[in-house]
Amino acid sequence: MADNLSAIVIITNLMKPHIVVLAFLLLSHISFFAQETTFEYIFRSEDDTFLNDISESSTNQVYASIYLNKLQTDSLNNSIIIHLNSFGSKIKQALLSVANKDFIADNIFVNSDNSLDIIGGFSQSINQSRNAGVALFRLDSSFIQNAYNTYNFPYNRRLVIVRTTKQPDGGYLMGAGLIYDDIAPPYRPVIYKFSPDFDSLNAKYFLGAGEGGYLTTLREIDTNFIWGLNLLFRRSQLFDKELNLLETQKWGNSIGGNLSCVWDTDTSFYLLGQRAFSQNKYALGVWRQYDPMDTTGSNYYTGRISDTVDFPALWKGIDMKHQDTLFFGGTRNLSMSNPYFANQPSWFIIVQTDSALNVRWERFYGGDAYYVMTNVLASRDGGCFVGGVRYDYQNNTEQQRDVVLLKLNSEGLLVGVNNQQSIRMHEAIVFPNPGKDVMHLRIAAQHPFSVLTLYDLGGRQVLQQSINGQEAVIRTTGLAPGTYIYELSAPTGLYETGKWVKR
């Protein structure tokens, strides 16, 4: 399906270039009951930057891997690992590189002693992606490197993606995607199994008929089997301990985008993807499956269908730390033709549901620039982290993005963030802005009924309309060109106001 290929092309293009009583805290030491912190962190650089992964330690320290795409020189591209405290202040950072190669730090894992394991892919250059392999770093708690290993892929193949999961024994399962120019289909999966000390225990390259795609989210099942998502071909696959393919379960043509999942038991998981509808309309979708391969009895949630593209977070868009609180999200108004540097506003979307996929709240962040979400990570205190990139197309003459990392509380709010915050939270979106004869509204799911009121700059009401549901199209043909003040309100607590310009 072309839409799913577009999702992979997006990844391919990337690789080319309240106060708690003190006594209670002293007695409990349980982070879930600690005060929920929120913050906004922006990583700015002269280089183009991209967020690959986020991880949180047992002491609520935050780590992120950031890819640096050099704009001003011909030097090789590399990755930075940053360490933030629980309030979003940077403590330190480390630059990771592989000699004479471009390196992308795809995954960060925090060990019990607060050392970090970082695994990612390297290649000859951002333009060629050849002579590729995988590198594994270990940094101690002071960010001093004390372990390093590399494995080269054979035959000068091109690298597309590397995604790794940590297993209960401390070892790692890595899924990678390689491009074979001389084999059809050209996209071929790879599985590596590593020990906790980065020794390669087993590897499998899939070159047979029907063995295309990219494998992610690999997981051991009862020590006898390995399960994984095949991102390109929209399927889950089961392998034996020797990495031989045993079974394939197709998801169907209605599921696309960058699939990611979170397991809630040893046998059941939630899958985030994209529902494709007629007339190129896309919405986020979440499926709960009760068996690794059998889809019988699955239930699902479908986000609101609109005339914009809602696209799942590019790396991992769904997570949970507590059984009845699921977070998932993506990008609202993604450009499929120019997914990273579009000249249009977009938003991060975050939805929280219970275990039965009943929506508790939905919120939007951004709209002042072009945002693309890469990661969602449930936090230990009941909130979540949201990460991605922001391209300020209105004030930037180069294709340069900043990394955005938000820590939200359990209600999706950025409370207590200082007045310098640059990213606004919304429960309703008005677009396009400027507009012409129509105004499109997108209301968060927790507000089934709302009212739009429009005023001119003199404070005179020029329009009022009741809205049922989450989407509305307001005709503005009777309004003169100019600037108006909109107000969206609801008895459920909605209050959004701002300027809307009619051309």
Candidates 430, 441, 485; CA nearest to 466 is 441
Sign of the torsion formed by the C-alpha atoms of 245, 251, 257 and 263? negative
pLDDT bucket at 6, cuts 50 / 70 / 90:
very low
Q: How many CB atoms lie within 10 A of CB 438?
A: 11
Tell me the three state secondary structure of residue 278. Answer: helix
The token pair at 148 is 């390093």
Q: How many CB atoms lie within 10 A of CB 477?
A: 8
Tell me the three state secondary structure of residue 10. Answer: helix
- Cα–Cα dist 192/206, whole Å: 12
The tens digit of pLDDT for each residue in 56-71 reads 999 999 999 999 998 8
Q: For residue 78, what are the β-bridge partners?
A: 68
- Cα–Cα dist 371/350, whole Å: 13
Collect all residues with Cβ–Cβ distance below 8 Å to 148 and sequence separation of at least 6: 135, 136, 137, 138
Fold of 438-502: Immunoglobulin-like (2.60.40)
pLDDT at 486 > cutoff 70: yes
- Cα–Cα dist 431/426, whole Å: 13
CB 363, CB 426: distance < 8 Å: yes
The tens digit of pLDDT for each residue in 266-282 reads 999 999 998 876 555 68
The H or E element containing residue 8 is: helix 2-15
pLDDT at 306 > cutoff 60: yes
Whole-number pLDDT of residue 419: 52
Place of tokens 């108006």: 484
The tens digit of pLDDT for each residue in 83-109 reads 999 999 999 999 999 998 999 999 999
The token pair at 259 is 């699939």
Say which range, 40-44, 85-89, 247-251, 331-335, has the weakest mean pLDDT: 247-251
The tens digit of pLDDT for each residue in 227-242 reads 999 988 888 999 999 9
User: What percentage of residues in the chain have a pLDDT greater than 90?
Assistant: 71
Collect all residues with Cβ–Cβ distance below 8 Å to 474 and sequence separation of at least 6: 438, 439, 440, 441, 452, 463, 465
Whole-number pLDDT of residue 299: 82
Alpha-carbon dihedral angle through residues 421, 423, 429, 434, given to the nearest 10 degrees? 100
The H or E element containing residue 28 is: helix 22-28
Say which DSSP state 31 is in. Answer: G
CB 339, CB 282: distance < 8 Å: no
Render the burial of 303-331: b for 16+ CB within 10 Å, e for the rest. Answer: bbbbebbbbbbbbbbbbbbeeebbbbbbb
Q: Is 431 exposed, middle or buried (0-12, 13-18, 19+ CB in 10 A)?
A: buried
CATH among 2.60.40.10, 3.40.50.970, 2.130.10.10, 3.40.720.10 for 2-426: 2.130.10.10
The tens digit of pLDDT for each residue in 176-195 reads 999 888 888 888 999 999 99
Whole-number pLDDT of residue 136: 96
The tens digit of pLDDT for each residue in 129-170 reads 788 999 999 999 999 999 999 999 987 788 888 999 999 999
The answer to whether the bond into 185 is cis (omega within 30° of 0) is: yes
Cα–Cα separations (whole angstroms), residue 173 to 75, 166, 176, 323, 474: 31, 7, 10, 25, 51
**What pairing do the DSSP bridges indicate for beta strands 310-312 and 299-302?**
unpaired
Cα–Cα separations (whole angstroms), residue 9 to 79, 313, 314, 340, 439: 21, 14, 11, 11, 32
pLDDT bucket at 31, cuts 50 / 70 / 90:
very low
Whole-number pLDDT of residue 11: 41
- Cα–Cα dist 400/406, whole Å: 20
- Cα–Cα dist 7/250, whole Å: 17
Whole-number pLDDT of residue 278: 58
For the question of whether the overall pTM of this predicted structure is more than 0.75, the answer is yes
Length of the chain equals: 503
Amino acid code (one letter) for 344: Q
* Phi/psi of residue 244, nearest 5 degrees: -85, 135
pLDDT bucket at 126, cuts 50 / 70 / 90:
low
pLDDT at 73 > cutoff 80: no
pLDDT at 33 > cutoff 80: no
Reduced 3-state DSSP string for 217-260:
EEEEECCCEEEEEECCCCEEEEEECCCCEEEEEECCCCEEEEEE
The token pair at 349 is 């979307």
Q: For the chain, what are the domain ranges?
A: 2-426, 438-502
